[in-house]
Amino acid sequence: MTTLLARFQGAFMGLAIGDALGMPAKFLSREQIKEYYGGEIRTYRRAHRGHSSSHLDPGCYTDETQLNRIVAESLVQCGRLEPFHVAERLVEWFHSEDCRGPGPTVSAALKHLAAGVPWNKSGVHAAGCGAGIRALPIALLYHRDEEELRENTKLCSLITHNDSKAIAGAVAVAYLIARLLHTEELSVSGLIRGTAHSIEELDGELAAQLRWVLSLLPLPTEEALAEIGTSGYILETLPAAAYCFIKTPTDFSASVLSAVNAGEDADSVACLAGAFSGAYNGVGRIPPDWITQLEDRDWLMNLASSLCALSTNQIRPAM
303, 73 Cβ separation under 8 angstroms: yes
Residue 273 in any domain: the answer is yes
Q: Is residue 196 part of a domain?
A: yes
Sorting pLDDT into bands at 50, 70 and 90, what band is 314? low
**Residues in Cβ contact with 246 at an 8 Å cutoff, skipping those fewer than 6 apart:** 188, 191, 192, 213, 214, 217
Q: Note whether 271 and 16 are within 8 A (CB).
A: yes
Q: What percentage of residues in the chain have a pLDDT greater than 90?
A: 97
CA dist., res. 319 & res. 145, Å (int) = 6
Has residue 318 been placed in a domain?
no
Instruction: Indicate whether 123 belongs to any domain.
Output: yes
pLDDT in tens, 198-225: 999 999 999 999 999 999 999 999 999 9
The CATH code of the domain that includes 19 is 1.10.4080.10
pTM, 2 dp: 0.98
Residue 49 CA to residue 66 CA, distance in Å, equals 23
Specify if 235 maps to a domain.
yes
Report the number of distinct structural domains present in the chain.
Answer: 1
Is residue 319 one of the residues assigned to a domain?
Answer: no
Q: Any idea what DSSP says for residue 233?
A: B
Q: What would the pLDDT profile of 53-91 be if each residue is shown by its tens digit?
A: 999 999 999 999 999 999 999 999 999 999 999 999 999
Domain membership of residue 213 as a residue range: 4-311
Give residue 288's region: left, alpha or beta (phi > 0; psi -120 to 50).
alpha
Confidence of residue 247 (pLDDT cuts 50, 70, 90): very high
Residue 280 counted as domain residue: yes
- β-bridge mates for residue 161, sequence order: 124
50 assigned to some structural domain = yes
DSSP states of 48-100: PTTSTTTTSPTT---HHHHHHHHHHHHHHHHSS--HHHHHHHHHHHHTSTT--
